[in-house]
Amino acid sequence: MEIRPFDAADTDAVVQLWNDCGLTRPWNDPHRDIARKRSVAPELFCVGVDAGGRLMASIMIGYDGHRGWINYLAVHQAHQRQGNARRLVQHAERLLTVRGCPKLNLQVRAGNEAVIALYESLGYANDQSVTLGKRLIADI
């Protein structure tokens, strides 16, 4: 898998990947999420492509000067369990480390034990934190 920055031409394939991986929700417009990310540190939005150049993975990385974040980590089902998610996370860690990011946080939906196990295998641990959210701008 080659990891490269997201390009606008990737939009439809990325949204399809997110849908296929169950990452989208009715209250989030993935096209708006992409547009927002492209306006803030777009170099931290990456995709993985196979040898034929076909999009197979994505990761949206954020850094606010205090903590790094991972969102929309997705690997196409045909390419899962081959180390591709691990490579994307390690890529994110490198990008954030060179920016001086001291800690990387991420969220996993409750009950997604396979993804929790993946992150634990990469050294991540439950911080015993509760995440709260409040929508400021409605997408739908």
Tell me the whole-structure pTM to 2 decimals.
Answer: 0.93
Q: pLDDT band for position 16 (50/70/90)? A: very high
DSSP strand pairing (68-75 vs 104-106): parallel
Q: Please state, in angstroms and rounded to a whole number, the distance separating the CA atoms of residues 98 and 124.
A: 19
Q: How confident is the model at residue 5 (pLDDT cuts 50, 70, 90)?
A: very high
Q: Name which residue leads in pLDDT, 20 or 138.
A: 20
Task: List the beta strands (DSSP E) in the chain.
Answer: 2-5, 45-49, 55-63, 68-75, 104-106
Distance CA 26, CA 56 (A): 23
pLDDT digits (tens, 9 = 90+) for 42-80: 999 999 999 999 999 999 999 999 999 999 999 999 999
Number of residues that make up the chain: 140
Summary mean pLDDT of the chain: 95
What is the amino acid identity at position 18?
Answer: W
Distance of alpha carbon 99 from alpha carbon 80, whole angstroms:
29
pLDDT tens string 82-109: 999 999 999 999 999 999 999 999 999 8
How far is Cα 138 from Cα 140, in angstroms, rounded to an integer?
6
End-to-end CA distance of the chain: 34
- The mean pLDDT of 34-47, rounded to a whole number, is 97
Structure tokens at 55: 């999009």
